[in-house]
Amino acid sequence: MKKSMGINIIIKGRYKDNPEVAVLFKYYKSRMKSMLEKMARPFRVKLPKSIILRPMYVREGYYPYHGRIQWCPEKGWEILMNIETCAEEDDRGLSILRHECVHLIEYLTEGSAGHGNRFRKIEAACESSRH
């Protein structure tokens, strides 16, 4: 029987002109795959075949999100990471990435996402599966 290759993380966007961001996003890609697989296991949720990981550049006059997850019918799931926030330190970027991954599990299990009791419940379960 053929072994499943798991989820495919695709890095897109304007990051190649900034070597630090390119290295950081390759690191996030490697961590994100195992992170999502561990998070999905307790909820028996089927992960999408691929997720796009994209840098987010904050424009003047817009609220500077740290990270964002969105669904696009043409592209599928996208996680956007604010490169200014992520470039500050690795741990903060990983924390933001983990937060957005919890939102993905919430979307896949509940059909919507927020920061209420469901989010905290999923986050707590995911936290316990880390150890």
Separation CA 59–CA 57 (nearest Å): 6
Cα–Cα distance list, 110 to 10, 14, 67, 106, 114 (Å)? 25, 32, 20, 6, 10
Cα 90 from Cα 101, distance rounded (Å) = 16
Give pLDDT tens digits along the chain (131 positions).
Answer: 344 457 899 988 876 677 777 888 888 888 888 889 888 888 888 999 999 998 887 776 666 678 889 999 998 999 998 877 776 656 788 888 889 999 999 899 888 888 888 888 888 877 765 55
Q: Which pLDDT value is given to residue 4?
A: 47
The structural domains of the chain, with segments of one domain joined by +, span 8-129
Q: What is the model's pLDDT at position 63?
A: 63
Tell me how far apart the 2 most distant CA atoms of the chain are, in Å: 53
* CATH code given to domain 8-129: 3.30.2010
What is the distance between the alpha carbons of residues 87 and 14, in angstroms, rounded to a whole number? 15
- 27, two tokens: 């690191």
